[in-house]
Amino acid sequence: MRILGIDPGYAIVGFGLIEAERAQARMESYGAITTPAGLPLSKRLLQIDRDAQELLETLKPDVVAVERLFFNTNRTTGIAVAHSRGVILCAVERCGVPLCEYTPSQVKIAVTGYGKADKRQVMDMTRRILRLKSLPKPDDAADALSIALCHARSATSRLPRPAPNGKTV
């Protein structure tokens, strides 16, 4: 199964494609969609939409896994990220690819076994699981790979998981 993980953002959208079969996962590709800092948010969103569509058409994933938003302290940044996330969700739907969403805690549990793991622990475990020599850069791409790994582990689990329609199966 080809799983495209996406870490939403408006300056940087991380993406990571893995090939997962049974308990094995292999990194295929990773990177980031970036938008220039000086652009108005509307132009950034348009660029993200176009680049996400091109990414989906080029990589041809079987499923897309996207991180659900968690608002911590900076709600202004969170709102802009939510706009970007909405654009990404629309691009995935337009391309007809199944979509699953995971909370940050679900990703941490799937990758490290601990729901309150810090970012470094998640990144290091992602590197180890995918047998990478170094951490993927930018960090957003490493985050996207961990989201893809979360789906790979969830898809092979017998535990309840989010279905592409958002309901738990």
Catalytic residues: 7, 67, 140
| Cβ count within 10 A of residue 32 | 20
The sheet carrying 24-34 orders its strands as 24-34, 12-21, 2-7, 63-67, 99-102
Q: What are phi and psi of 19, to 5 degrees?
A: -110, 120
Q: What are phi and psi of 83, to 5 degrees?
A: -60, -45
Q: Tell me the sheet residues that pair with 17.
A: 4, 29
